[in-house]
Amino acid sequence: MREQPHHVDLLTKEFFQKHYVEERMSYPKIREMLLKQGHNIHVGTLHKYAKQHGVGRSRSEAKRERDPNPLDYNISYLSEPMIEAIDGFLLGDGNLNKSTGQTQTSRLQCHLEHEEFCDFMMRPFDAYAASVNQYKSAAMKSGACWHGRTKFHPDLYGQYQRWYPTLDDEPFKTPPQDVRITPISVMLWFLGDGSTVQSGDSISVRLSTDYFPDSSVEMLVEKLKVVGILCHRNNDNRIYIEARGIPAFFDFIGKKSPVKCYDYKFELPEWRFTAKRLREVTDELGVSYNRLSHLVKTGRIGCYRASSKGRPRMLPEHIEQAKDLKKTGVLY
């Protein structure tokens, strides 16, 4: 275990003697106490330090970790809409945490900067008693982080098995072959791990998949292409939505953000959705590219340029001009 100086100073034998032994606090309860104090230390880390000090896990620990109001494990809350929400959650900023007890259960959780987005991410999981809490975090600009999580349930352990195959003896989040690519799941993915980058009159939309295996990213690319979104895996192992794929991408997930904190990701000029390149228009109308290009250069057919040196693109009204000239035989 890599030692963190701050953890070494805080997680002493005296610390565990007081809270774990004398006060009989479980590791999750100790974690909650530390979160309120501004220390984001996971249960597994607490257990490792306690074991180093010879405190370890007692037979009563399972009882101490037991939720006083657990979900009914005999009821399944899974449905197709629930699975697509889970897949979108896990494609983006969310993760699944497996129970340390003997019962095979898991819970969904996320750590986010914006309360509004955290609430939105957890909203589909009310059936699993989703909650959102704040704790201090020096890593965030605001100095605080929002932690969303559900309660443990066997349904979610099944999803853990889908998403966390064992690679190199360690569970590693990996999109399954049957991952749902729907407007809901891709929207959650884009909000959590997507970006829109504009530079001059050029624009790019990317989906972060940095830590997924290359083969999984290629699989996601193919699934996006199936729903009409032109994209490819770039050298950073991210998914790059090609310029011609941007209209289809936002037609698929919607052109308006469901949360105000990410409105900026959807702030694209309208021409991005309606303008077409000359090559696309020639293919669509079945005319000569050189002839269309000539008519555009000479002003017989209008065009739109994002900048003085930008590529000519044709808006719907320009395409109508081209159609009219095709009817008269000027465009052929």
The percentage of residues in the chain with a pLDDT greater than 70, rounded to a whole number, is: 92
Give the tens place of pLDDT for each residue, 1-40: 344 556 788 888 888 888 887 777 888 888 888 888 888 8
What is the distance of C-alpha 179 from the center of its chain? Answer: 13
Overall average pLDDT of the 249-258 stretch:
95
Return d(Cα 314, Cα 322) in angstroms, integer.
Answer: 10
Helix (H) / strand (E) containing 226: helix 214-226
Overall average pLDDT of the 49-62 stretch:
66
Q: What is the pLDDT of residue 6?
A: 65
Long-range contacts of 24-29, Cβ-Cβ distance < 8 Å, separation of 24 or more: 24/60, 24/64, 25/64, 26/61, 26/64, 26/65, 27/61, 27/65, 27/100, 28/65, 29/64
The radius of gyration of the chain from alpha carbons, rounded to an integer in Å, stands at: 26
CA distances from 236 to 17, 38, 187, 230 (A): 47, 34, 22, 18
* Residue 285 pLDDT greater than 80, yes or no: yes
Say whether domain 80-171 belongs to CATH 3.10.28.10: yes
* Residue 51 pLDDT greater than 90, yes or no: no
Q: What is the pLDDT of residue 170?
A: 75
Identity at 181, one-letter amino acid code = I
The two domains 80-171 and 275-328 share their CATH topology (first three levels equal): no
Confidence of residue 63 (pLDDT cuts 50, 70, 90): very low
Q: Tokens for 318?
A: 């320009």
Return d(Cα 65, Cα 195) in angstroms, integer.
Answer: 39
DSSP count for the chain of H helices, then E strands: 15, 12
φ, ψ of residue 166 to 5 degrees: the values are: -85, 115
Q: What is the pLDDT of residue 200?
A: 66
Q: What is the pLDDT of residue 4?
A: 58
Give the tens place of pLDDT for each residue, 82-138: 999 999 999 998 999 988 777 789 999 999 989 999 999 999 999 999 999 988 777
Q: Please tell me which of 19-23, 97-101, 251-255, 312-316 the model is most confident about, judged by mean pLDDT.
A: 251-255
Fold of 183-271: Endonuclease I-creI (3.10.28)
Domain boundaries along the sequence of the chain: 5-65, 80-171, 183-271, 275-328
Lowest mean pLDDT among 25-34, 146-155, 317-326: 25-34
Return d(Cα 272, Cα 265) in angstroms, integer.
Answer: 14
Return d(Cα 30, Cα 28) in angstroms, integer.
Answer: 5
Q: What is the pLDDT of residue 57?
A: 56
Q: What is the pLDDT of residue 229?
A: 96
Q: Tokens for 245?
A: 């794929």
pTM above 0.85, yes or no: no
Instruction: Name 167's bridge partners.
Output: 170
Q: What is the pLDDT of residue 62?
A: 44
Q: Write the CB contacts of 190 (distance below 8 Å, at least 6 apart in sequence).
A: 92, 207, 253, 265
Fold of 275-328: Multidrug-efflux Transporter Regulator; Chain: A; Domain 2 (1.10.1660)
Return d(Cα 189, Cα 93) in angstroms, integer.
Answer: 8
Give the tens place of pLDDT for each residue, 199-241: 766 778 999 998 899 999 999 999 999 999 999 999 999 999 9
